[in-house]
Amino acid sequence: MVCLIEGQYPGLFGQKHSNRDYRYEESWGKNQFNSSFPASLIAYMGSLDKEPVYLCTNKKNEIVHKNISSTQLLGIDPLSDDAYYNFEAGYFPYEQYYTAPNDKKKEKIDLVMFNRSSEKAVSGLEVKLTTLPDNATKDLPESEYGSEIVVRSPTILFLACSICSCYDSSQGQSRLHNLLNTIGEEIKDWSDMRQVLPHYKKIEQAVLGVSTDLYRKQVPLIVQPIWKTCNGLKDLAANCLDVFVWSNLSVIQMCLREKANDNNITRNQRTIIWLYRMLWDFTLYGKFNYRDIVDLLAYNLKTDKAFSINGNLTNAMMKCKELRTPRISKDEIKNIILGDGQKLLKPERRFDSYLVSHPELFE
């Protein structure tokens, strides 16, 4: 156990109860910090009544900006004594919709918020801590800065499950089946790119039809905190931190920003195909085999990630005053990382490296 400031143990703002014990060095590794710090950033912003920017879609499948409170986002007041931060955990409400080779190896989501009183999981979120600008936009005017987002394959699983949950009845499954049209019956071998590619446009349109049907029921899926740099990516901007949230339906739009390829299946196209097939199987069997779909529908591409998009594409979707001037200053980081916790960081990426190399931020 470590106590770096007399009378105060290392910690993170708002996290009274968590499966990570910040008194110990092992809770400050790169993989832990990239999700635990954003969770406390959300809690801190909530304490200041600053709401994350919520990227949603409208009936026309256009990206629109709203705001979402920290309580709405997490499903519970993040400062409540009932709030339990469960990182890298299974999200039970989604596990009923898919099978895995071993039920003990269900996919884990970055953050599950748990209500200690009701003993229920109230939200499951993926977390992407991203740099602003990325390499693709660092030489552009500040108004055109964007962040690269890498979406991992399990995120598409959670996206599919979030949609399945809205059609979780015999009537709902029938409605979803009709929205997906008959494409699922027309393709005999889904692993054969030559059979699937001619149907891609119809697959995409069917997925967009589902998105239109659900636009009033979309839910948060990806939390994307940004940390803004300046001086050629070498320093934190004075106003450097903010939080963007992507709904499940806006993640579909994120995926569609890349130009389609008529001669090959790209990662982005494959993601839409994965999603369609997961939903199609759900309408037939009440659940789908996630791992089989991802592995068999690889199309000569690695399956460790679904897709990525660079800052040129994200800027168009995220552009707003909060992207240009984030609302949390670098002088406030010491209000989020408590008890000299930054001294326990094991810097492996630029953000935690910067914090370790600039102790004046914590004075």
Is 90 exceeded by the pLDDT of residue 338? yes
Q: Give pLDDT, residue 348.
A: 65
Is 90 exceeded by the pLDDT of residue 326? yes
Mean per-residue pLDDT, 319-331: 97
Q: Of 75, 25, 50, 93, which is closest to residue 344 (Cα–Cα)?
A: 25
Is 90 exceeded by the pLDDT of residue 6? no
Q: Specify the pTM.
A: 0.94
Q: Give pLDDT, residue 195.
A: 94
Lowest mean pLDDT among 66-80, 93-107, 182-196, 212-226: 93-107
Q: Give pLDDT, residue 261.
A: 76
Per-residue pLDDT tens over the stretch 253-264? 999 988 877 788
Q: Give pLDDT, residue 104.
A: 57
Radius of gyration of the chain (CA): 21
Q: What is the mean pLDDT of the chain?
A: 93
Per-residue pLDDT tens over the stretch 73-83? 999 999 999 99
Q: Give pLDDT, residue 349.
A: 64
Q: Give pLDDT, residue 8.
A: 80
Q: Give pLDDT, residue 157.
A: 97
Cα distances (Å, whole numbers) of residue 130 to 28, 135, 305: 18, 12, 16
